[in-house]
Amino acid sequence: MKKYIVVTGGTKGIGRAIVFRFARAGFGVVTCARSAADLQALATELGAEVPGAEMYTLPADLSQRPDAVRFTEYVRNLGKPVDVLVNNTGAFVPGRLQDEPADGSQLRQMIDVNLYSAYDVTQALLPGMIERRQGHIFMMCSTASLMAYPNGGSYCIAKFALYGMAKVLREELKEHGLRVTSVLPGATYTASWEGAGLPEERFVKASDVADAIFSAYSLSPLAVLEELLIRPQLGDI
């Protein structure tokens, strides 16, 4: 039976690499992003590299709950089993807490995109996975989930919270046969680092993260890789 993966934020960086890695393995792919044009470009590129790839896309901004509801309804209406869910949607705004807007808008923005997007999508798709007693959930955390740094501000807070959510899910879903993995990448060569003035070889490759996720998924049902920590060979940037 064909398997299906849901990847949020699948048009760029790590999300894009995951889409291609699982499609090459024969998975059907369901993904979303804010830009319809980016989704169309992704579908075209995937079709060229993986002829016959089965892919479903929907433009959605998962930091907005109505869009998250619309996306998960779209996924459920496809009638496909969700074998893998990768909560990859996220955003980074640098800065110190003391310099953030006094109205708390930056924290709310970081929580909405980095935490609530994963919460809303997981809560909506989880009942089907529990009913089937099959599935693997990957939470795209960060090394910022483990160690705060001076310019991390509200981003670090949101990523710490996402890591906590992954730990809660891991404990709750053991008895249902579902696996949960926290993915904790260090600096990865994506659009977020454009203009940083550092050589590409100083970063983790997005394809390496995707390969590691696929390897974690490929373990037998008797084992789960609870945490996947990946850093550049030369250390954090």
Long-range contacts of 49-53 (CB under 8 A, 24+ apart): 49/20, 49/24, 50/20, 50/23, 50/24, 53/23, 53/29
pLDDT digits (tens, 9 = 90+) for 102-136: 999 999 999 999 999 999 999 999 999 999 999 99
With respect to residue 235, please indicate whether it lies within any of the assigned structural domains: no
pTM of the predicted model over 0.85:
yes
Instruction: Please say if 4 is a catalytic residue.
Output: no
Tell me the CATH number at 122: 3.40.50.720
With respect to residue 217, please indicate whether it lies within any of the assigned structural domains: yes
Q: When comparing pLDDT for 198 and 27, which is higher? A: 27
With respect to residue 17, please indicate whether it lies within any of the assigned structural domains: yes
Q: Which domain holds residue 81?
A: 4-230
With respect to residue 237, please indicate whether it lies within any of the assigned structural domains: no
Nearest to 55 by CA among 44, 66, 69: 44
pLDDT for the residue 134:
95
**pLDDT(198) > 80:** no
Residue with tokens 């075209």: 44
Cα 101 to Cα 207: distance, rounded to the nearest angstrom? 36
- Single out the catalytic residue among 74, 116, 149, 155: 155
Mean pLDDT along residues 44-52: 97
Query: Considering its fold, how many domains does the chain have in total?
Result: 1
With respect to residue 220, please indicate whether it lies within any of the assigned structural domains: yes
With respect to residue 236, please indicate whether it lies within any of the assigned structural domains: no
**pLDDT(63) > 70:** yes
Confidence of residue 194 (pLDDT cuts 50, 70, 90): low
Measure the CA angle with vertex 66, ends 60 and 68; round to 5°: 50
Q: Rounded to the nearest 10 degrees, what angle do helices 153-173 and 117-132 cross at?
A: 10
- The region of weakest confidence among 80-94, 97-111, 154-168, 181-195 is 181-195
**pLDDT(196) > 70:** no
How far CA 154 is from CA of 78, 112, 147, in Å, comes to 36, 11, 13
